Amino acid sequence: MNGDRGDAGEQGPAGPGASSFVASSGTYTVPDGVTKLVIEARGGGGGGGSAQGASGGCLSGGGGGEGALLRGIFAVTPGEVLEVTAGTAGRAASQSCSGAPPPRVDATGGGTSSVKIQGGAMLASAEGGAAGGSMISGTPSQPGTGGAGGAATITNALVRLDIADGKPGSNGVSNAPGGAGGGDGGAGSGGKGGGFSGGGPVAGQPGFVVILPTL
């Protein structure tokens, strides 16, 4: 004969399927029972440089660089707090062609996406891509150069699953569309540079951080 059913026990720890997507800066607390995390990060893309008028035509801007990408498995302690930063998108320069004065606003680079232990070591850092350049004044003047891609850094990882520096943006040319941004157009891609025919520069794409508990 069976006895009476006992009271329900406490809720168990989070399983390996539990996940957290971090879209902006903040903190992440490691769940009970979790000792390993998969962390993926992409830096923000750099903004595109502007086209500007010059003797003999219009010189297009360079494309922004792509943010770096990384993914690894890291050892953590339940209850540990991680400081998370998702890289911001690089700002596009203001367009200034057809003999107009230099742009009032330059492009900016993308922000770095990172994860570090609160009060402790950095675990992963994916730099943002550099800004695309606008026309370089001189004799003769030169089109804007493409921004460099961001650099990826992983420290203290149990396993490095993926690590790649961002692709650079393309250089601008005379009387042509602006240089292409580094990347495939997805998260962390650099913005296109401004061109001679009214196509203004484009901002980069923001970066991201994904954190996933694992076995």
Share of the chain above pLDDT 90, in %: 60
Residue type, 158: L
Burial readout 172-204 (b: 16 or more C-beta within 10 A, e: otherwise): bbbebbbbbbbbeeebbbbbbbbbbeebbbbbb
The answer to whether the Cα torsion of 179, 184, 186, 187 is positive or negative is negative
pLDDT of residue 13: 42
Contacts of 58 by beta carbon, 8 Å cutoff, 6+ apart? 51, 52, 97, 98, 174, 175, 196
Question: Which backbone phi and psi does 6 adopt, to 5 degrees?
Answer: -75, 170
Judged against a pLDDT cut of 90, whether residue 48 lies above it is answered with yes
Mean pLDDT in residue range 167-179: 87
Q: Would you list the domain boundaries of the chain?
A: 19-133+147-215
Sign of the dihedral through C-alpha 73, 74, 75, 76: negative
Mean pLDDT across the chain, nearest whole number? 85
Over 70: is that where the pLDDT of 129 sits? yes
- Calculate mean pLDDT across residues 22-49: 91
Cis before residue 140, ω within 30 degrees of 0? yes
Q: Which residue has the higher pLDDT, 97 or 74?
A: 74
Give the model's pLDDT for residue 51: 82
CA distance 179 to 148: 13
What pLDDT does 101 receive?
Answer: 58
* Mean pLDDT value across residues 135-160: 88
Which two three-digit tokens encode residue 87? 């890289």
Average pLDDT over residues 99-112: 78
The pLDDT of residue 116: 95
pLDDT at 53 exceeding the cut of 90: no
pLDDT reported for residue 19: 53
Chain segment 183-194, per-residue pLDDT in tens:
988 889 999 998
- Is the peptide bond preceding residue 13 cis, with omega within 30 degrees of 0? no
**For range 153-174, the mean pLDDT:** 94
Q: Place 7 in a pLDDT band, splitting at 50, 70 and 90.
A: low
> Is the pLDDT at 12 greater than 60, yes or no?
no
| pLDDT given for residue 142 in this prediction | 83
Cβ neighbours of residue 138 under 8 Å, at least 6 residues apart? none
Q: Band the pLDDT of 173: cuts 50, 70, 90.
A: confident
Q: Are 207 and 187 in contact (CB under 8 A)?
A: yes
DSSP H helix total and E strand total for the chain: 0, 12
Q: pTM of the prediction?
A: 0.86
**118 compared with 104, residue with greater pLDDT:** 118
